[in-house]
């Protein structure tokens, strides 16, 4: 009789039953007449006990020498056992080896990251990577749930675009028939059109930047969610960002606690992530950096070390607003109180993580925006459609972008964003 196929994560519902797990060999230990096969199936790992005589001798012998990551199906009775990893154990009565693996390159020992990255397609199977990518999937689901349940319309922005959004230095060029196009750096300009059509919208997808910086925070392909709201101000989006980040973090604590445990994440730090978040103007941040004796030059954008210092000093995300207009993007609206400061915000995650959100109120005045395009030497023709949004019913509006990998890295306590996306793309990194 064929036993029912169940997943490891559902074993708790099948205690006493005989079930089949379909998966791969994670590890095995042999004590002569008894073998302990750890079988993983993508949802978890279960220890399976195989006694000599439970299966035919040939199968028993084959199991004893089975390389890691061989695929197999195991059938046995489910027992609750507090000592077993995961809390359940199988007493096997049948084993089918599906495909014996060749000697597995990623053994259960420490390897260098460069080697692991070359084997990313296999590295995905390891426990820690598995936990990180499950948290990432939860972050993505939380993002959609948050906006979908608040009346935002999901409006996808194009990936092939005719113009720069976030500066011309990080554009990827693409041949577009007889023309030239760029991979999108941000869907913002398109969600601005969307906000004028639907009131509140968001886009969520991959974005591309030819980042030459090889840091732990930069990918050349990353996922970003960008809400945009008509009639919203900087204050409105700062409040929204606070609520949004709280929602994502609390959701991961609620649903991915096991994964966070695998990652040995200090969840007490995440429990604290509730409004209100501290807020600081750029000028206050500059003063703070000076007071700490850091070599920060007034008027510059915050550099990585500055962000790290500021973010380490707070146990909640820090919202820094009103950066100098000249270091920020062309579309940001200058503060009417002080034109050399932009109505913008960066949210820095704590523990030294740094920026996870960048947002702003947008310039809605046609003449002012035309001047900004000129100052930034951006080709006017490619932006005519964008200027139309100011010609036909311009209103104040604002939005932000949150990076999925940096957010995932923060929640997981992972140093480097390269582990927070299944197949990272960085300078010098396009394989596999």
Residues near ligand 4AD (CB under 6 A): 165-166, 186, 188, 209, 211, 218-219, 222, 224, 226, 355-360, 399-403, 405-406, 417
Give me the least distance between CB of 188 and Mg ion, in Å please: 11
Give me the least distance between CB of 427 and ligand 4AD, in Å please: 10
Smaller CB distance to ligand 4AD: residue 188 or 311?
188
Q: Count of CB atoms within 10 A of residue 112's CB?
A: 8
Give me the least distance between CB of 63 and ligand 4AD, in Å please: 44
For residue 350, what is the DSSP state?
A: T
Give me the least distance between CB of 31 and Mg ion, in Å please: 56
Residue nearest to Mg ion (CB): 358
400 binds, among Mg ion, ligand 4AD, none (CB under 5 to 8 A by kind): ligand 4AD
357 binds, among Mg ion, ligand 4AD, none (CB under 5 to 8 A by kind): ligand 4AD
Of 192, 243, 225, nearest to 396 by C-alpha is: 192
Of 158, 159, 163, nearest to 379 by C-alpha is: 163
Q: Give the interface segment with Mg ion, choosing from 30-38, 117-125, 314-322, 352-360 (CB under 5 A).
A: 352-360
Of 26, 1, 132, nearest to 86 by C-alpha is: 26
Helical (H) or strand (E) element with 352: none
CB 217 within 8 A of CB 417: yes
222 binds, among ligand 4AD, Mg ion, none (CB under 5 to 8 A by kind): ligand 4AD
Give me the least distance between CB of 226 and ligand 4AD, in Å please: 4
R_g over Cα of the chain: 26
Give me the least distance between CB of 329 and ligand 4AD, in Å please: 7
Q: How far is CA 182 from the centre of its chain?
A: 23
For residue 2, what is the DSSP state?
A: P
Q: How far is CA 387 from the centre of its chain?
A: 32
356 binds, among Mg ion, ligand 4AD, none (CB under 5 to 8 A by kind): ligand 4AD
Name 172's Cβ contacts closer than 8 Å, sequence gap at least 6.
Answer: 182, 183, 208, 209, 210, 220
Q: How many CA atoms lie within 13 A of 228 on its CB side?
A: 27
354 binds, among ligand 4AD, Mg ion, none (CB under 5 to 8 A by kind): none
Smaller CB distance to ligand 4AD: residue 256 or 328?
328
Exactly one of 194, 227, 358, 424 binds Mg ion (CB under 5 A); which one? 358
Smaller CB distance to Mg ion: residue 190 or 400?
400
Largest CA distance in the chain: 85
Residues in contact with Mg ion by the rule CB under 5 A: 358
């Amino acid at each position: 009789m064929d036993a029912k196929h169940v997943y490891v994560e559902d074993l708790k519902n099948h205690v006493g039953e005989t079930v089949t797990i379909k998966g791969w060999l994670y590890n095995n230990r042999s004590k002569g007449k008894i073998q302990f096969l750890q079988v993983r199936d993508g949802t978890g790992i279960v220890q399976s006990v195989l006694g000599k005589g439970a299966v035919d001798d040939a199968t028993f012998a084959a199991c004893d020498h089975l390389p890691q990551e061989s695929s197999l199906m195991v059938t046995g009775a489910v027992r609750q056992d507090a000592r077993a990893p995961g809390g359940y154990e199988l007493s096997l009565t049948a084993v089918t080896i599906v495909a014996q693996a060749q000697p597995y390159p990623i053994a259960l020992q420490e390897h260098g990251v460069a080697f692991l990255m070359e084997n990313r397609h296999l590295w995905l199977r390891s426990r820690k990577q598995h936990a990180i990518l499950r948290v990432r999937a939860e972050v993505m689901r939380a993002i959609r749930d948050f906006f979908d349940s608040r009346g935002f319309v999901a409006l996808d922005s194009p990936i092939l675009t005719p113009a720069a959004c976030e500066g011309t230095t990080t554009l990827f060029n693409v041949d577009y028939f007889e023309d030239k196009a760029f991979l999108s750096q941000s869907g913002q300009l398109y969600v601005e059109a969307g906000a004028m059509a639907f009131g509140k919208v968001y886009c969520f997808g991959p974005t591309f930047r030819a980042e030459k910086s090889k840091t732990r925070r930069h990918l050349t392909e990353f996922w970003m969610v960008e809400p945009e709201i008509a009639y919203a101000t900087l204050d409105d989006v700062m409040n929204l960002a606070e609520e949004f980040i709280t929602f994502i973090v609390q959701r991961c604590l609620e649903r991915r606690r096991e994964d966070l445990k695998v990652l040995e994440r200090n969840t007490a730090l995440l429990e604290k992530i509730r409004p209100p978040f501290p807020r600081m103007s750029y000028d206050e941040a500059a003063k703070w950096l000076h007071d700490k004796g850091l070599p920060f030059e007034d008027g510059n954008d915050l550099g990585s070390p500055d962000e790290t210092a500021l973010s380490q000093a707070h146990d909640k995300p820090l919202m820094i607003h009103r950066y100098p207009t000249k270091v920020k993007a062309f579309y940001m609206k200058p503060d009417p109180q002080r034109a050399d400061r932009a109505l913008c915000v960066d949210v820095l995650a704590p523990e030294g993580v740094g920026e996870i959100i960048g947002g702003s109120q947008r310039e809605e005045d046609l003449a002012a925006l035309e001047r900004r395009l000129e100052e930034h030497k951006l080709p006017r023709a490619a932006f005519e459609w964008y200027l139309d949004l100011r010609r036909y019913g311009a209103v104040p509006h604002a939005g932000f972008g949150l990076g999925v990998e940096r957010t995932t890295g923060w929640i997981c306590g992972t140093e480097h964003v390269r582990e927070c996306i299944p197949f990272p793309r960085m300078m010098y990194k396009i394989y596999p």
